[in-house]
Structure formats: structure tokens, C-alpha cells
Amino acid sequence: MNAVLIVAIAILAYIVVSQIFRVYELIRELDGPNDRNTIVTDTENKVMANGFVMFMVLLFAMFVYCMEVYWPLRLPDAASVHGAKIDDLMNFNFLFVTLIFLICIVMLFGFCLKFYGTKDRKASYIPFHHKLELAWTILPCIPLTFIIIWGLITWNEITSTPPEDGIVIELYAKQFDWSARYTGDDGELGPLNYLLIKDLNYMGIDPKDERGQDDIVVKGVFHIPVGKSINLQMRSQDVIHSAYLPHFRVQMNCVPGMTTRFHFTPTKTTAQMREELGNPDFNFLLYCNKICGATHFNMQMDVIVDTEEDYKAWLANQKTVTEKGMIAVIEDLEENTSVVTSGLALK
Amino acid sequence: MSDHGHHHKESFITKYIFSQDHKMISRQFLITGIFMATIGTIMASLFRIQLGNPGEPSAILNFFLGDGWAPNGIMDPNMYLALVTLHGTIMVFWLLTAGLSGTFANLLIPLQLGARDMASGFLNMLSYWFFFGATCVLVSSFFITGGPASGGWTVYPPLSALPEAMPGSGLGMDLWLAAMTLFVVSSLLGGLNYIVTIFNLRTKGMTMFRMPLTIWALFLTAILGVLSFPVLFACVLLLIFDRTFGTAFYLSDIFIAGEALPAQGGSPILFEHLFWFLGHPEVYIIILPALGIGSEIISVNSRKPIFGYKAMVFSIIAIGLLSFIVWGHHMFVTGMNPFIGAVFTFTTLLIAIPSAVKVFNYLATLFRGNIQFTPAMCFAIGMVSTFITGGVTGIILADNALDINLHDTYFVVAHFHIVMGLSAVLAMFGGVYHWYPKLYGRMMNKTWGYIHFWFTFICAYGTFFPQHFLGLAGVPRRYYSNTEFPFQEDFVDLNFVVSVFAIGGTLSQGIFLVNFFYSIFKGEKAVQNPWRANTLEWTTPVEHIHGNWEGPLPTVYRWPYDYSKPGKDEDFVLQTVPLADGELDQGEDYH
């Protein structure tokens, strides 16, 4: 079906272009000989001007087609509190710039048609017009001010201090997978030290630190509860990654050597979302959005938004890092540390 | 070829190779730029083949990339990243910085200002040869084991700093950095030369406000380059240190390939700041000459003065100044202080104002004109259209709250390709068609120019316009294959269509190449002032002579945009025509 469509479009485009040139060649012969490559004939001007208008029609047709077919395929309405605000702002902006786009493009190609050159006419000598110039310098400032203020209000809400009672989850990125780390019962994440990374302890959790011993680390899929603030911390083991959770309108880079943060509150559970979209296979996604190497295109993790009870039940079923044996072998570890830290100031 | 006065006869080498004549250097930059652009465009086609038909064997890929990088015709993911990296590097720096500024600044600054040559012909020559060296180094990186740099054209460390992270971060990255270092030297030598020339070598009567807008644009471009390229130089140098001498400017707490690295205390974000301190002015280094060229072509071919000459000048200056305080909008999701993020949003959206002024002035220039659609004019109109189409989405991306969700998606790809890439490329094509008679003394074939324009223009929109919708669906850029997520299946068709247009656009450049090279030798001989323009370059003889003007340098009496002035017989008045009694000059006599 698609192949047919594309071939049809290609043939149509070819016909349009070739017809334009046939007409133009034919008529040029009628104009008689002249300085062929220097002088543009009236006919050529007319053909080109009409070409631009035809192009404009095609462009708008493409725009309409894309809006029909691909606009509905955009990300579904945000599933987070701040995301809904981003959507509002986005929809307004989209409408606004579409309007500007349409007006300017119509003027541009319209003027091409209206004022294409002919031999019997002279252009108007209008070097400047102060009032007009002033008007279109100042007029754009008004919507712009509005957009800036609205945008900054939204931005300030998004980047405000996360609520104390939020759930702290650490997203840990490495080539080419994600892990999510939960605090365990103590409500605190254990400190990480990259010098302690060895074997199963791939995050470098300090085994001597009690805060870390009950931490929970999961891969492949992680769960969050609906309606609570999720205070994400991002870290990276090797290169810059970016934690992108598009359905929640969340994105933050994971940078080795530092911790970045982003907090959001999910508003819909996975089950609700599946029902809403009529897609039983729908999953919220986390994927990498900063070039990180060969398998960058497939560095993903599923996110399940549960009700609070389900979330608690799920979390209770998870083994801590100690139970999993991730931070078990203390002797080995000390040996490892001493080797790596020789000559280095261990923080 | 006739020699001017004190200039002596030159040998083949000093005339064609180590030339110090600005017109020859301009042609050298142009040809090198075209050569690199051909490579860069073919690269784009290759990765579009992969994106259009992911995982399907292709004989074309195998032909270009060989068994090592495309075994059985299936592209290696590392090679995909190398291709996007080099495509970006080549297009941004080689074509649209050196190719665009190098060609038109060298050609037009002396010719439009009435100078015999650049202030320093020697530095100018050096500028080209450093660029040539950079080109050789970059091209050589295609042929090494491990392949060329592949960390994206922004080469963020640690990915680019650690050979363990990807094969392209080995020798390929060293060569990239070496090439970029040479490139910066070339760019600085050129830029200083342009600035000095504009300040000192304007002919009698050529006041600043009688300069064509091309010169204003190239002037600001040179200033931006001179102020920002040294920062890239420092940035690149520190990366070389990190890679080679074990320093830790950009590296900290890294465990990779089974080993903890000793580096501590550095910050990859520092690199991003340094890089984008050049990187953002860089996009204006690309777009300003394009806008300048567009202004000139549109005014000449509308047979009308450019509307609001001084507003145009001041908006160029405003864009230039603002471009230095907006770099952080590339880094909204790096975890920067939210307050700083807010400031960058504010400054970035301010750029919309001078940009809008420019667009409206273009529209007003066309209004009640007598538009001559030369191929150059078609390209210039195309440039204005892409500047609008791509510019409006900048308003969305500048908003940090919106950028959270659009950052690094195809929406960004669409935005910057249209507003910066297409606008600059279209304007550059326009410039080549318009000044071809000055470059080679002949005309390019007009009919083939039109054909080239329409294919290019349609394919350009077909390629980039739909990509906005990929971005709105959350499809990230720089993905080797859009097959690993269920939602990407909706866009298989769209990706295919985009690839068809992209490859079609690439193939249509063959028309240009043939027209360009054929016309150098066989094109119709040009007349002195084929477009009936006002500026000084059209008062020089068609055949290039060293020193540009046979006799004394011309004297300028008026601004360059007296088209269709009432009371004149012709619809153009050369800048060298003295003012009539009581006639006022728009450049100097109005304030």
C-alpha cells in the first residue's frame, strides 16, 4: 500500500515538474532569442511565481496530512502533574507558531505571485517605513512576553524543591542498560563509590554503610506508585546518558561524577493508561536520549505505575542488595579498594 | 589575463595553488566545500538507507562501506554513529562555516568594498591551507581501523574521551580533534583578515552605512568567529589533554570496560559549556552570511531597495550580540541551576525579535517589487521560507519547560536542519548562482538551475518537515534503528518516505555538480553586470585581474540599494554614480 502511495507521489511530482518545464520551454521559444542565462523572461517569472504558489499548496497539504495521520500518534496526554502543564503550554505554543508559519508563508509566496516581474512595470521605491518597522519590532514582543512568562512559571514549578515525603529512586545508567535503586526500609540510599565497583556490585554500593545494605536494585522494569512525588536521582557509570520518560514529560541527563535530579508525580497507572489508549500492550518507557555508544538505540527499561498498595506489595517482594549477594564479599572488596585507591584520595 | 600595474606575472603554482589572490582563494574554499559537502551528503543518504529500511541488506551500503562496516550490506551500529558524527561535522564546519564564509567573505569583501585584495594576502592563503590540512586529516580518518569519530558532532566526553567507550573514540577521535584544531586556526586567520579589511580597506566614500548587507553579515560573522573559536580551541585542547596526558578536566568517577579510571574531579558539563560557547555563536556564523547573501539577492531581484536597511544592520548586530548569551539552551536537561535555565530561555526568546524583523523586512522588500526569478532568487526565496518554517519551532524549543520533552528528539533535528541547515545551504546555492559570473566569468545554465532548485527545495521539505512529528512522538535522534520500541512501528512508513526524499535530494545535487563544473569551462560568457546590480563587484572586469580594478579604485557616492529609484532612467543606480543635485543618499543622509 505504502509503496504504491510513494510511487504515485513520485510519479505525480515528476509529472508536475516536467510539465512546468515543458510549458516553460515552449513559451520561451515564443519569446525569441535573448541572453538566455542572464535575463529572466516574463514567462519564466510567471512560471516560477506559480510554481511557488503550487509548492505552498503542496506544503500545506503535507502539513494537513501529517496533522491527520501523525498528530494523533504523538505522545499521549501527559501522565504526570507537571506534564499536563507542559502539554498546555505546548499546545498553545504549537497553535501560535502554526499561525505565524501560515501567515508568513502565505505572505511570502503570495507576494511572489502578486509581484513577479514583467517588462512593462517598475518596482516601487520604498526604502523604509519607520512606523511599520517599529510596529513589527514591538508587536512580536507581546506574545513573546506572554510565552516567556508562562514558560518560566511552568519551569519554576517543575524545578521546585521536591516534596519531603516523595519516593526517592535512583536511576543508574551504564552502557547499555538501566537500573533503578530503591531506598529500602530506612528511606535512604546508600552512598556509591565507583572505586568499589566489582563483579555483582556493579554500582559500587559501599557494603560497610548500613544505609546501602537494604537498598533494592532492579533491572528491566521498575515500579512507581501513582499520585506520589517520585524524586528521581540520576547517575551514570561510564558516559553521559539521558533518562527520558516521555510519557511523564521527564528528561534529565545522567552524568558520570555527579548526581542530577528530577521529580514528578504520576497521575495515571499503567492499567488506566492501557484502558484509555485501548492498547493492552502499552507500557510507560524509560530510554536513553543521549548518544552513548553502539547500542544506544536499545537502552530501555519499562516503567509500571501501580496503585500505592500494588506498589508496596511489589516492593516487599524485592530482594535487597544484601540478599541478592550484590555487596557480599567484604575481604575481596577491601583488597580491590586498596589497589585502586593507591595514589588517589578516596572521597 | 592582463596584469595590473605593479603586480608581476605569476607562475602556475602561485596563481592556482599557493595563491594570495582573494578571488582564487575564494574559489579554493568553494571547491573544497563542495567536495566535502558531497561526502557529507552521501553519508546522510547512507544512514537514511539504514533508517528507512533498518536491518535490510543493501548493496549500496556494502559498496560504500565495505565488508568491514557493512557486512552483508547491513550497517554496523558504530558506523551509523560515525556517519551521523561526520555528517554533522562536515556540514556545520566544512561546508557552512569554511565553505560559506570562506567563499563569500573572500570574494565579496574586497570586491564590494572597493579594495585591491584582502589586508593580508599571505594570511589569507595560510587560512586556506590550514583548512586544506584540516580537510586532509578529517578525510584520512575515514580509512583507519576503528573508524572515524563517532560520538556525535558535539563529541561530548566521556564518550569521546575514552577509547573503551566506542571504537570511534580511538584514533578516529584523535584525528577529529587534530582536524578541528587546524580548522580553528584557519578560521581565526580568515576572520581577523576579514575584520581588518572591512575596517581599513573600504574605498573612498564607502562608509559603514553604505556597505551592502552581505558585508555587514560577514563582518559580524567574522567577529563572532574570532571571539568564539578560541573557546572551542581551548575546549578541544583540554579534551586532547584528557585523552592523551591523563588529565581530568572532563572526567570523573568513571568505571568502564571493567576498570575504574583514576580521573576524579572533572566535569563533562564543563565541556558542554565550552563547546556551546562556540557552538551557539557557530549557528549564527552559519546563518548570518546566509541572511546577508539573501538580502543582497532579494533586493537585486526584487528591483527594490532592501526594506529597512538600518533595521537589518541593527538586527544583525543584535543577533550577533545575543548569540553569545544563549548557549545554555542546549543544556536545559544537564541538571543546570534552574535559575540559569530561566535566564537562557529569556535571552533565547529575545533572538526571535531581530529574527522576526529580518523576516518582515524580506517580505516588505518583495512587496510591490518587480521580482525577477533568477535561480539565485528562487534559492533566496526558499531560504526565507525555511528561515520562517524552522524559525518558528525555535520559539518552542527555546522554552525550557517544553525542551524537557523535546530535547534530542527528531523535533530538534527538524528544527535545526530547516532553520540553519537548509536556510544556509539554500542561500549558499543562491550565492553561487548569483556570483558565479564573478567567480568564473561565465554563467551557469539557468534551466538546469531551476530544475536543481525545485528538486532540492521539494526534497528538503519532504525530508525535514515530517520529522517534527517523529519528535512529537518522542522518537530520539541518533538511534541506529527505530525498531526496538513498539511505538516506533507507527513510523516505519514515515521513516521510509523521509529516506526517499533525502536520497532524492542527494541525487538532485548531481544536477548542480554537473552544471557547476561544466559551466566553469563551457558556460555562456558573462557580461559585466548580468543582474544589473548596484554594488561595486559588478564594476570590475569580467576576467579576473590581480588588484580587481584596471585603473584607480572606484569612489562610492551612495548606498547599494538604489533600485527603481524615481527619476532615474534605469531601474538600478551603481554605487559609483554621484548624487544628483539635491538627491539624498539613503545610507548616510537619513537617520
* Residuewise pLDDT in 10s, chain B (591 residues): 344 445 556 787 877 888 899 999 999 999 999 999 999 999 999 999 999 999 889 999 999 999 989 999 999 999 999 999 999 999 999 999 999 999 999 999 999 999 999 999 999 999 999 999 999 999 999 999 889 999 999 999 999 999 999 999 999 999 999 999 999 999 999 999 999 999 999 999 999 999 999 999 999 999 999 999 999 999 999 999 999 999 999 999 999 999 999 999 999 999 999 999 999 999 999 999 999 999 999 999 999 999 999 999 999 999 999 999 999 999 999 998 999 999 999 999 999 999 999 999 999 999 999 999 999 999 999 999 999 999 999 999 999 999 999 999 999 999 999 999 999 999 999 999 999 999 999 999 999 999 999 999 999 999 999 999 999 999 999 999 999 999 999 999 999 999 999 999 999 999 999 999 999 998 889 999 999 999 999 999 999 998 999 999 999 999 999 999 998 888 899 999 999 988 888 888 776
Chain B residues with CB under 8 Å of A344 CB are 262, 264
Helix or strand (DSSP H, E) at B98: none
- Close Cβ partners of B371 (under 8 Å, ≥ 6 residues apart): A45, A49, A111, A112, A115, A116, A117, B301, B302, B303, B377
Per the CB < 8 Å rule, is A158 touching B401? Answer: yes
CA distance B369 to B390: 25
CA distance A335 to A332: 5
The pLDDT value recorded for residue A3 is: 65
CA distance B459 to B454: 8
Q: Is A277's Cβ below 8 Å from some Cβ in B? A: no
C-alpha dihedral, B524 to B527 to B531 to B534, nearest 10° = 160
**Preceding omega of A176 cis (within 30 degrees of 0):** yes
Helix or strand (DSSP H, E) at B243: helix B213-244
Contact B351, B326 (CB under 8 A): yes
Distances (CA, A) of B152 to A292, B60, B79, B83, B84: 9, 23, 12, 9, 7
In Å, how far is A2's CA from the nearest CA of chain B?
Answer: 7
A44-82 pLDDT, tens digit each: 999 999 999 999 999 999 999 999 999 999 999 999 999
Cell 524583523, located at residue: B357
C-alpha dihedral, B60 to B61 to B65 to B66, nearest 10° = -70
What is the SS3 assignment for B26?
helix
* Average pLDDT over every residue of A181-187: 91
- Close Cβ partners of A150 (under 8 Å, ≥ 6 residues apart): A89, A92
Per the CB < 8 Å rule, is B255 touching A237? Answer: yes
Q: Does residue A241 register a pLDDT over 50?
A: yes
Nearest by CB to A17, which of B165, B454, B523? Answer: B454
Per the CB < 8 Å rule, is A294 touching B152? Answer: no
CA distance A100 to A107: 11
Would the pTM of this model clear 0.80, i.e. be above it? yes
Q: What are the cell numbers at A334?
A: 577491601
Per the CB < 8 Å rule, is B266 touching A257? Answer: yes
* Residues facing A253 on adjacent strands: A242
C-alpha dihedral, A104 to A106 to A107 to A108, nearest 10° = 80
CA distance A189 to A183: 5
**Domains of chain B by range and CATH?**
16-252+269-539 (1.20.210.10)
* Average pLDDT over every residue of A158-171: 94
CA distance B414 to B470: 9
Q: What are the cell numbers at B153?
A: 558532532
Q: What are the cell numbers at A156?
A: 519554576
Q: Is A22's Cβ below 8 Å from some Cβ in B? A: no
In Å, how far is B71's CA from the nearest CA of chain A?
Answer: 16
Q: What is the ipTM of this complex?
A: 0.94
The pLDDT value recorded for residue A334 is: 52
The pLDDT value recorded for residue B489 is: 92
Q: Does residue A338 register a pLDDT over 50?
A: no
Contact B404, A251 (CB under 8 A): yes
The pLDDT value recorded for residue B5 is: 45
Question: In which band, very low, low, confident or very high, does the pLDDT at A30 lie, cut at 50, 70 and 90?
Answer: low
Question: In which band, very low, low, confident or very high, does the pLDDT at A2 lie, cut at 50, 70 and 90?
Answer: low
The pLDDT value recorded for residue A330 is: 53
Contact A252, A207 (CB under 8 A): no
The pLDDT value recorded for residue A24 is: 67
In Å, how far is B7's CA from the nearest CA of chain A?
Answer: 32
**Selected residues 178-237 of chain A with any CB under 8 Å from a CB in chain B:** 194-195, 197, 204, 234, 237
CA angle B39, B57, A295 (to 5 degrees): 75
What is the SS3 assignment for B69?
helix
CA distance A202 to B438: 64
**Which site among A125, A139, A157 would you substitute to test the B interface, given the most B Cβ atoms closer than 10 Å to its Cβ?**
A125
Contact B441, B544 (CB under 8 A): yes
Contact A209, A193 (CB under 8 A): no
Q: Is A258's Cβ below 8 Å from some Cβ in B? A: yes
Per the CB < 8 Å rule, is A151 touching B345? Answer: yes
The pLDDT value recorded for residue B474 is: 95
Going along A183-307, which residue ranges are E strands? 216-219, 221-225, 230-236, 241-245, 250-254, 260-264, 284-288, 300-306
Chain B residues with CB under 8 Å of A112 CB are 366, 371, 373, 381
Residue B371 has phi, psi (to 5 degrees) of -70, 125
Instruction: Annotate B465-494 with DSSP letters as a single string.
Output: TTHHHHHHTTPBTT-S-TTSSGGGGGGHHH
The pLDDT value recorded for residue A1 is: 57
Nearest to A215 by CA among A230, A228, A204, A229: A204
Give burial (CB, 10 Å; 0-12/13-18/19+) of A81. middle
Chain B residue whose CA is closest to A299: B484
Contact B286, B243 (CB under 8 A): no
Per cent of chain A over pLDDT 70 is 89
CB atoms within 10 A of CB B122: 12
Q: Is A243's Cβ below 8 Å from some Cβ in B? A: no
Helices (H) and strands (E) in chain B, counts: 19, 2
Query: Range with the lowest mean pLDDT among A265-269, A330-334, B92-96, B474-478?
Result: A330-334
* Residues facing A171 on adjacent strands: A180, A234
The pLDDT value recorded for residue B10 is: 73
The pLDDT value recorded for residue B465 is: 97
B138-166 pLDDT, tens digit each: 999 999 988 999 999 999 999 999 999 99
Per the CB < 8 Å rule, is A37 touching B372? Answer: no
The pLDDT value recorded for residue A335 is: 52
What is the SS3 assignment for B22?
helix
